[in-house]
Amino acid sequence: MSNSVPELAKGSKVLVSGASGFIAVHVVDELLKDGFEVVGTVRSAAKGDYLKDLFKGKPFSYVIVEDIGKDGAFDEAVKGVQGVAHTASPFHLKADDPEELIRPAVDGTIGILKSITKNGSDVKRVVVTSSVAAVAGDKTAPYTYTEDDWNDVSIKIVEEKGKDADGGHKYRASKTLAEKAAWDYSKENNVSYGLSTINPPFVFGPILHQVDKPESLNTSVANFYGILKGSKKEEDLPGPFGNWIDVREVALAHVKALTVPEAVGERFIISAGPFCIQDLTESILSIAPDTPGVPKGKPGAAKETTDPSKMTVCSGAKAGKILGIKYRSIEDSAKDMYDSLKAKGW
């Protein structure tokens, strides 16, 4: 990466890969609100047309990229754009062979960077959507993860166990290796654009993307929907469940990482902190007290359960300082997520 910091001016054209995804649609929305022109890559015309309708009257267009892992998949898409937000990546935990997850994740990330090298002479800034899966390893609580941490433990487990490795480790290894590959490529090729990565944990918040049935919801929102439908019992509520963030903060972080000079060459954990299922059930019951099947647990117990001095925390402080991200409450995020699900009649 060159030493000068390339500037991305308002009104520039930005490519958003995987534009029909849960996070990506919010990234597109935030870019359009901030005065950028957006080109999204989608796997089908149906997905693209949904977005065209969603962003009707705004400078949005789409191109079809059916397979992000295919050699040269983004060669045409990167032409004439000044910024790239690469959000596209496979997400499922059912792969038998870990390479089924790792290879598409790495190839999709390196592939778009190669396309930029080949045809993206106008590109000034690139943001890659990674995950705290590439950050958080096996540290014992209490521990605060920062951008200096890498999840090398999942890579090691997958190398040792192969197909017998846990699906979660296969996924986390794929995210870690894909992000490492992006940084390695940028350094080895002394790229002319500024690179940043965004590393969110569980992502909640309202859905904007095309989803026609609850079974097709993205993983984090599907967990919330399951709670609404009675999937949790009293005994499931107290334990810490991980760290969380609202999708709108993740989207804003992508825009800031594309535009803030100090973001170049940096990773950013976008995290509002730890949560437990009790947080979500309390939020649901405060909105709709008569929701059947949602356990009450012990109201107020969430604060004790998610005490940072007792668990592993993913710190969002750096993103707050450099990108100016302010984190909303889980109650507000849950309410908006609830409302967006109910708007679909679910």
* β strands within the chain, DSSP E: 13-17, 37-42, 60-64, 83-86, 125-129, 143-145, 194-199, 202-204, 240-246, 267-269, 273-276, 312-314
Q: Is 192 helix (H, G, I), strand (E, B) or coil?
A: coil
How many CB atoms neighbour CB 304 within 10 A? 12
Q: Which residues are 15's β-sheet partners? A: 39, 84
Question: Does the annotation count 10 as an active-site position?
Answer: no
Cβ neighbours for 287, distance < 8 A, ≥ 6 positions apart = 334, 335, 338
* Residue 335 CA: distances (Å) to CA of 130, 141, 190, 285: 26, 30, 45, 10
Cβ neighbours for 265, distance < 8 A, ≥ 6 positions apart = 1, 194, 195, 196
Distance of CA 268 to the CA centre of its chain: 11
Q: Is 37 helix (H, G, I), strand (E, B) or coil?
A: strand
Q: Which own/partner contact pairs does 165-173 have at CB distance under 8 Å and 24+ positions apart?
A: 165/98, 167/93, 167/94, 167/95, 168/93, 170/93, 170/95, 170/98, 170/101, 170/102, 171/91, 171/92, 171/93, 171/101, 171/133, 172/131, 172/133, 172/134, 173/98, 173/101, 173/102
DSSP 8-state secondary structure symbol assigned to residue 246: E
DSSP 8-state secondary structure symbol assigned to residue 57: T
Considering the domain 13-137+145-211+244-272+314-326 in this protein, what is its CATH number? 3.40.50.720
Cβ neighbours for 144, distance < 8 A, ≥ 6 positions apart = 308, 312, 313, 314, 315
Rounded to the nearest 10°, the torsion over CA 154, 155, 156, 158 is 80
DSSP 8-state secondary structure symbol assigned to residue 36: -
Q: What is the largest CA-CA distance in the chain?
A: 59
Rounded to the nearest 10°, the torsion over CA 39, 40, 42, 45 is -50
The rounded distance, in Å, linking the Cα atoms of 207 and 71 is: 32
Q: What is the chain's pLDDT, residue by residue, as a tens digit (346 residues)?
A: 545 777 899 899 999 999 999 999 999 999 999 999 999 999 999 999 999 999 999 999 999 999 888 899 999 999 999 999 999 876 555 678 888 889 888 998 999 999 999 999 999 999 999 999 999 999 988 999 999 999 999 999 999 999 999 988 998 999 999 999 999 999 999 999 999 999 999 999 999 999 999 999 998 999 999 999 988 888 777 777 889 999 999 999 999 999 999 999 999 999 999 998 889 999 999 999 988 889 888 887 777 677 777 789 999 999 999 999 999 999 999 999 999 999 999 9
Sequence spans of domains, the chain = 13-137+145-211+244-272+314-326
Global pTM? 0.94
Catalytic-role residue among 124, 170, 175, 256: 175
pLDDT of residue 3: 52
* Residue 84 CA: distances (Å) to CA of 1, 46, 109, 154, 306: 15, 23, 12, 28, 36
